Structure 1
């Protein structure tokens, strides 16, 4: 349990645009509300960019919006000035840019920093034009953070092996999910569900999510279902053209972004995820909370850890695993075969039960306990350092 009263804690993230990290930071703030208020802590949420907000910050948190316009140097300057003026006792950040500037500011102003890494860094920056610079900054800065909170064992292993982050500084904290709330949201009526049974994919329409692979594998599979894809992004026109080219234009429904995706998810027969890289895939965990079977590519990191319990699981093609079907990354035939396995008689019912069992491991109680321990550890390290200096 968190046992530091009257502390001021500043959470930092790029913005509250729609996305997994943005949703998680707001959920974490809600989860910690009783703890923070009982300890009389002052809690801030710093947004580096002034952008439209898809996520709702809890009322007890004081939100401060900067205007760095997505740039690193303005992010550092503006956040540094705020920290110098306000002097919080702890900085907690999410996403790479926020993590880098928060860590540097924390070191220079003697404030402990807790950084949360949401993606597998090596895979996430592998195809980016600026990926080399981003990876250099991570390796130079992340080891200087007081504590590092990877979202999965796989993300932690990548940071330790490739970015010089000491394992002793790391505490894995899985995302947590309010199953009752998800179920309630899933019961809201929507009017654009397909008439036929369908499987579903959810995520931003960008290269890293590899919806191109999903559509190609779906077109080659034996499935008679439709495919619903929820998400917005630059790949939308190309994906529509691809569905037409593959002869499944009438069966692939690209519905765009939905603030509430859960009615579409709960009415699907199963979820398909074909990402090239993840941190801890919220879409997979949320599908399992709603009892949906899952097919996922074995990308770094998260899917194998969720579906098999072991992040080091290898897949030559596809694997009908303990909690879902895992397939090789960027392999059309593997995903096609995984879809065919899920279409076999009894598979959907079997994996519905498996998903419900696995979902019990992602509770808010576990998240709260882990995060409280991390904050205690970070604050204690600073107190020890101050005592030593005295």
Structure 2
């Protein structure tokens, strides 16, 4: 790699772990490269669940102290002289703002992917982060919120100036998703059997509400034969597996971990269920819509309600309500024509969330 080459745009993120921010980061880089945009990718660590496009220039800045990270960023920016930087996730966003004070970043765009005020009892941990966001985010040219709900959270609850925040919905590559959805599922026999399979995708963390999903599934199993497959990894994996045993559903629930190709599982699901207590803009919902699978989702403060028209292109239920989640899922499983109608309408609506439109919006921001 020739480090002396300059670049037009720097994309920066702490790591490529298996979350939604990381997925759209990789998708945008792929789309920008298709448009021959000269770019550089800055990564904080080697953690990787997603692969960057071939021949993407990558520089690792390490995971040391904030001073070490910022010093490394400043060195890279001074050498590369980018026209713009697009930064992902709060830690990198804050590092980039400080680096901008010391260098010549012409245009800095920060992206924000979740609602900080929805952390519930965990909110105290984020007090320091929220204060730094309030202080430093306005120094960027634009903060991109991935949904109107996230924008409202940033403006109303975190005090950011509304004129600084733009909404750009995450985009997906519908054709690529459906191509990958055609791959054979060899990881588990349930997808080749007649019993309905419910699929959930999400990191195994408090915010994703898996405890309510498992309670809902336990209620549903008393009335309807079905199975549950959960794709994702996270710190609550052990606790959730113990919960399945406590609820007596361990033989009907399978944790398959993180999957690079979740679409082949989605395609063969009877229903996709999102159980989150808070979200930004859950791309997994769009992916389920894209492969023609009916969706049941919690109606978080942001995200799902901006994608789904309740009773038309999916079903929305109150968060943290296992009974409502069970009833909605049961309706999908038992009413075949209704489920088909929801999936058909959702498939038509998902095209407006394409990655090309998403990239167009970012490029417009880069141009000012």
The answer to whether the superposition gives a TM-score over 0.5 is yes
- Contact 1:57–1:63 at 8 Å: present in 2 too? no
Shift of 1:186: 1.2
Question: 40, 44, 48: which one pairs with 1:44?
Answer: 40
CA distance, structure 2, for counterparts of residue 116 and residue 63 of structure 1: 20
**Partner of residue 160 from structure 1, selected from 147, 155, 179:** 155
Report the more deviating stretch, 185-194 or 279-288. 185-194
SS state at 1:58 partner: coil
1:70-149 pair list within 5 angstroms: 71-111=65-105, 112-124=107-119, 127=122, 130-149=125-144
Query: Aligned partners of 1:366, 1:87: CA distance in 2, in Å?
Result: 27
Partner of 2:171: 176
| Greater mean deviation of Cα atoms: 247-256 or 118-127 | 118-127
Matched, 1:326 2:316: yes
Give the Å deviation of 1:305: 0.8
3-state SS of 2:166 partner = coil
Q: Shift of the alpha carbon at 1:46?
A: 0.5
Matches within 5 A, 1:108-257: 108-111=102-105, 112-124=107-119, 127=122, 130-191=125-186, 192-194=188-190, 195=193, 196-221=195-220, 222-257=223-258
Q: Which runs of 5+ in 1 are unaligned?
A: 1-5, 309-319, 378-390
Distance 1:252 1:34, change over 3 A: closer
Contact kept in structure 2, 1:72 and 1:97, CA below 8 Å: no
Residue 307 of structure 1 and its aligned partner are, at CA, apart by 0.8
Aligned-partner SS, 1:68: coil
| Deviation by residue 1:219-254 (Cα, 9 ceiling, x = unmatched) | 112332111111112222221221122121211111
Answer with 250-259 or 164-173: which moved more: 164-173
Query: Runs in 1 of length 4+ with deviation above 3 angstroms?
Result: 71-74
**Does the residue aligned with 2:39 lie in a helix, a strand or coil?**
strand
Cα deviation for residue 290 of structure 1 reads 0.6
CA shift in 2, pair 1:130/1:337, >3 Å: same
- The C-alpha deviation readout for 1:261-283, integer Å capped at 9, x for no partner, is 11111100111111121111011
Over 3 Å counting, the alpha-carbon distance change for 1:130 and 1:81 in structure 2 is farther
Change (3 A) 1:83 1:126: farther
Unmatched 5+ stretches in structure 2:
1-5
Residue in structure 1 matching 2:62, options 52, 60, 67: 67
Query: How many positions carry a matched residue from both structures?
Result: 355
Query: Of residues 334, 340, 346 in structure 2, which corresponds to 1:349?
Result: 340
Q: What is the alpha-carbon distance in structure 1 between the residues aligned to residue 303 and residue 40 of structure 2?
A: 30
SS at the partner of 1:204? coil
Report the Cα distance in structure 2 between the residues aligned to 1:126 and 1:48, rounded to whole angstroms. 29
Contact 2:74 2:102 survives alignment (8 Å): no
Is 1:23 aligned to residue 23 of structure 2? yes
TM-score by length of 2: 0.90
- Between the aligned partners of 1:207 and 1:231, the Cα distance in structure 2 is 13
